[in-house]
Amino acid sequence: MTDRLRVPRVAGVVLLVALALALPVAVADRRFYAFIVGITFLHVLWTAGMNLLSGFTGLIPLMYAGLAGIGAYVTVNLVMSAGVSFWLAMPLGAVAAAVVGVVLGLPALRLRGFYFTLSSLVIQSALTLLFVYFPRFTQGDTGISQIPAPTVTLPGLGTAALTGVWFEETLAVAAMLAVLVVWRVTRSRWGAYLVAIREDDVLTEALGIDVTRFRVIAFFISSLLAGMGGAFYAHYVAFVSPRSFDVLTSLNIWLMVAFGGRGTIAGPIVGAVILAPIPYLLQDLYLYKDIIYGVLIVLVTVFLPAGVWGSLLPRLRARLGAAAPARVPGKEFV
């Protein structure tokens, strides 16, 4: 049925991977652009995790940035205070974020849709306060600066800091892994269950599907990616403060997912690639940059309610003569 899409899809993925790996090298001499590329990869990673919950499971976790913060602070403290290697600290930070994410996701077992979003907003505010009021671990509003770059030890070549183009390439790989994980999960039986839960959790449970279990799994994976992104962010930017992980960051990541097309794999990538660089590219237009950002979002919401990719995909399929997708993206703005 979708055989006719196979070749264009594989070609597209190969092209995208090649582009992602080539881009940091292409702009390696201009650090400013290289940094924007790195930040964009980080947001691709974050949107993949956000999409698993907001796009596929139908729950908007506005504490997402807070979870990224937990991943970041745990990792940074392990590295800077305990001297643990980043490559051990980062997974630990991600797991810490995932565990906290599962616990904080428990209200979702009772609250649906908008009500869950509200409760997650409160949780995000509490996490932000937590970051401010535990300066022992976060240095409060001052923030932690001079976070060292991760080091890599290669046999025979000695130890070197992961900097410059190598860091961007690492972020590219991390982002691709995140997208791959979300793709695998959503194309599996679990993915079918998550979408079923999004559409009608009562019916799904009545069909004999363990709704609670799959919600928890979705929260775990999503929060794991949030924390992983947070750890990379901290060591890439070399500075974190509670502001880095406040509710605006959550909203921004969610916006990128909705902008690109929630509930699709490529949509959030499109959203991150278009929206993440804007604040940096438009720095000279600082008076208008928020207006431009806002207008762009309003235009897409009004004219492409399923997101840029979410709206183009059906047309693309029609042009290629493939059948309609089995899963229709949502009408409501999830």
Partner 1 sequence: MTALLEARGLMKRFGGVWALRDVDLRQEATETLGMIGPNGSGKTTFINAVTGHLALDAGDVLLDGERVSGRPTHRIAQAGMVRTYQAVRVYGRFPVDENLRIASLPHYERVGRRQPLEGVEELLARLGLADKRQAPAGSLTLFEQRRLELAMRLLARPKLLMLDEPVAGLNPGEIREMIAVLKELRRTCALFVIEHTMKVIMELADRVIVLVSGEKIADGAPAAILKDDNVIRQYLGSVRAFRP
Tokens read off for 186: 């959503």
Work out whether 205 is an interface residue with partner 1 (CB under 8 A): yes
Provide CB contacts within 8 A for 109, sequence distance 6+: 212, 215
Q: If binding is defined by CB under 8 A, does position 106 make contact with partner 1? A: no
CA 37/CA 20 separation, integer angstroms: 9
- 189 binds partner 1 per the rule CB under 8 A: yes
The reply to whether 185 sits near partner 1 by the rule CB under 8 A is: no
Of 10 and 328, CB closest to partner 1: 328
Rounded to whole angstroms, what are the CA distances from 196 to 164, 193, 203?
A: 43, 5, 8
Alpha-carbon distances, residue 29 vs 32, 33, 35, 162, 184 (angstroms): 9, 9, 11, 16, 36
**Using the rule CB under 8 A, is 193 a contact of partner 1?**
yes
Query: Site residues for partner 1, window 45-104 (CB under 8 A)?
Result: none
Is residue 317 close enough to count as binding partner 1 by CB under 8 A? no
Range list of H helices, the chain: 3-26, 31-51, 64-80, 86-104, 113-133, 135-138, 164-187, 189-199, 201-206, 211-237, 247-260, 266-275, 278-281, 289-303, 308-319
Q: Is 207 in the site for partner 1 (CB under 8 A)?
A: yes
Q: Closest separation between CB of residue 122 and partner 1, Å?
A: 28
Of residues 9 and 327, the one with the C-beta less far from partner 1: 327
Q: Determine if 211 is a binding residue for partner 1 (CB under 8 A).
A: yes
Asked whether position 186 contacts partner 1 by CB under 8 A, the answer is: no
Q: How far is the CB of 113 from partner 1 (least distance, A)?
A: 15
Instruction: Indicate whether 318 belongs to the interface with partner 1 (CB under 8 A).
Output: no
Eight-class DSSP state of 320: T
Name every residue whose Cβ is closer than 8 Å to that of residue 67 and which is 6 or more positions away in sequence.
61, 97, 100, 101, 104, 127, 223, 226, 227, 230
> Smallest distance, Å, CB 305 to partner 1?
14
Closest C-alpha among 268, 263, 260, 266 to residue 191:
263
Show the site string, 117-136: x = touches partner 1 by CB under 8 A, - = not.
--------------------
Nearer to partner 1, 59 or 165 (CB): 59
Q: Does 112 bind partner 1 (CB under 8 A)?
A: no
Mark residues 265-304: x for contact with partner 1 by CB under 8 A, - for none: ----------------------------------------
Residue 57: DSSP 8-state: I
Nearer to partner 1 by Cβ, of 29 and 332: the residue is 332
Please, what is the minimum distance in Å from the beta carbon of residue 192 to partner 1?
6
Q: Which one among 136, 315, 319, 331 touches partner 1, defined by CB under 8 A? A: 331
Q: Which stretch binds partner 1 (CB under 8 A): 8-16, 126-134, 136-144, 197-205?
A: 197-205
Which one of residues 7, 25, 203, 238 is an interface residue with partner 1 (CB under 8 A)? 203
Distance of CA 213 to CAs 29, 86, 210, 217, Å? 48, 31, 5, 6
Give first-to-last CA distance, the chain, whole Å. 28
* Separation CA 72–CA 144 (nearest Å): 11
261 neighbors 310 (Cβ within 8 angstroms): yes
Residue numbers of the site for partner 1 (CB under 8 A)?
Answer: 189, 192-193, 196, 199-200, 202-212, 324, 326-328, 330-331
